[in-house]
Amino acid sequence: MYTLASGVRPPGTRPSHAPNRLAWLDTLRIVLTVLVVVHHAAQPYGPADWWYVEGQPRNPALATLSAVGGTFAMSLFFFVSAVFVPASYERRGGWSFVKGRLVRLGIPVVVGAVTIVPGLMYAYYVHYRGYPPVSFARYFTDVYLGLGEKPADWTGPSWPDLQFGHLWFIQNLLAYTLLYVLLRVLCRETAQLIRRHRDTPRPPRTTELPTPTPTPVPGHRALLALTAGIAVATFLVRLRYPLDTWVPFLDFLQVEPARLPQHATFFTLGVLAHRYDWLSRFDARTGWMWLSGGLLGVAVLSAVGADAASFGPGGLDGPSALWAAYESALCVALCAGTLTLFREAAGKATTNTTTTVPGPLAKELAASSYAVYIVHLPMVVTVQYYLADRGLTAATAWATAALTGVPAAFALAAGLRRLPLLRRVL
């Protein structure tokens, strides 16, 4: 971790140990990737959401598990991803950074949208739609791209089938990153314009650096205000866009407006955390208290059930307002608490081993986590199709899909990363 003797890092400067990349964040990224695989492994056996495999046994505990993961996991993913954006931009420069992001984020989205996602949607079409069988090529042009006539009894979830599936996160991350670059350029140009038109002469140059002004570290009040702000914004958005409502923004960007306040906010917080060194300065006692509150909230949700009538996905009613507030509180509490947990665990490990260098396995898993996110879904869904109609309980099927999907996805990702054509992308 990085600190200064004064406990404050001047705004706009990079931490002294930037090359270390805060290794514990890479560990957290691995865990979040595993959680995504586990979450998708539970989809046909818990929540009532649309999924690629239908008609499977359900378990209320798995529905609650999915609901808990949905409250904070992807918001924390956006936060962790955003922490590394400013340093990468400053190190590589604007245009080089943008080109790199377009390659690493844009190519997987485009390639996945014409390979992985249509393959999954074709399997769903063949197994559950009840239409006459068609070849994959015919399905791709007529149904997936929507070049054919829409059937009168089309069962959805949308027309055409063209979508980005789980790649929505990478797509949205690219959009947020490009917006960050645009705002930096606009701020720089605005500052230069103000300086050129300033009436007063510029002060003489001096070799002495100004004393950095301490920036406040978020505490209980800030986190409470953050929770309230996200809750209000979430409730207002869900008046029109309930949970699991996806819209095509600019006919390309796949967005779930119901979670947009959380995701956009935590991406912004990740950028600010880098700028103001919040990750090392955040008070552990505050983090432990919020983690305790978050775990208590999870326990209450497990007892009540995520599908309780007191919670609603959207609309102008009490259940919607209650779930917007409860979900926002869990999001902030679990994100702040999880960051504290991993930071403090890494600090103790460093003290015990007197080293900050991660082992070869940790390096390999961290390097493969991005590719795992891209390739895991067809592997998990394939296992789910194989387990269908075999008389397994929901919990057994979920555990089998998760325990099979996680190592298989990491193994495939490790192999793909070593292919010359994919090395730069993955």
Q: Report in angstroms the alpha-carbon separations of 245 from 102, 139, 157, 248.
A: 27, 24, 10, 10
Backbone angles phi, psi at 356, to 5 degrees: -115, 5
pLDDT confidence of residue 187: 81
Q: Which residues pair with 254 in a beta bridge?
A: 248
pLDDT confidence of residue 148: 87
Instruction: Say if residues 80 and 28 touch (Cβ distance below 8 Å).
Output: yes
pLDDT confidence of residue 199: 56
How far apart CA 408 and CA 150 sit, in angstroms, is: 37
In this prediction, the residues of the chain whose per-residue pLDDT falls under 70 are 1-21, 197-214, 349-358
pLDDT confidence of residue 95: 87
pLDDT confidence of residue 274: 92
How far apart CA 75 and CA 69 sit, in angstroms, is: 10
pLDDT confidence of residue 309: 84
Q: 253: part of which helix (H) or strand (E)?
A: strand 253-255
Return all residues near 47 (Cβ < 8 A) that are at least 6 apart: 62, 63, 66, 67, 306
Q: Which residues pair with 249 in a beta bridge?
A: 253
**How big, in percent rounded to 5, are the helix, strand and coil portions of the chain?**
65, 0, 30
Instruction: Say if residues 385 and 123 touch (Cβ distance below 8 Å).
Output: yes
How far apart CA 32 and CA 200 sit, in angstroms, is: 52
Instruction: Say if residues 29 and 342 touch (Cβ distance below 8 Å).
Output: no
Instruction: Say if residues 271 and 288 touch (Cβ distance below 8 Å).
Output: no
How far apart CA 287 and CA 101 sit, in angstroms, is: 32
Instruction: Say if residues 400 and 392 touch (Cβ distance below 8 Å).
Output: yes
pLDDT confidence of residue 200: 54
pTM recorded for the entire structure? 0.86
Could you report the per-residue pLDDT of 84-129, keeping only the tens digit for each? 999 998 888 888 899 999 999 999 999 999 999 999 999 999 998 8
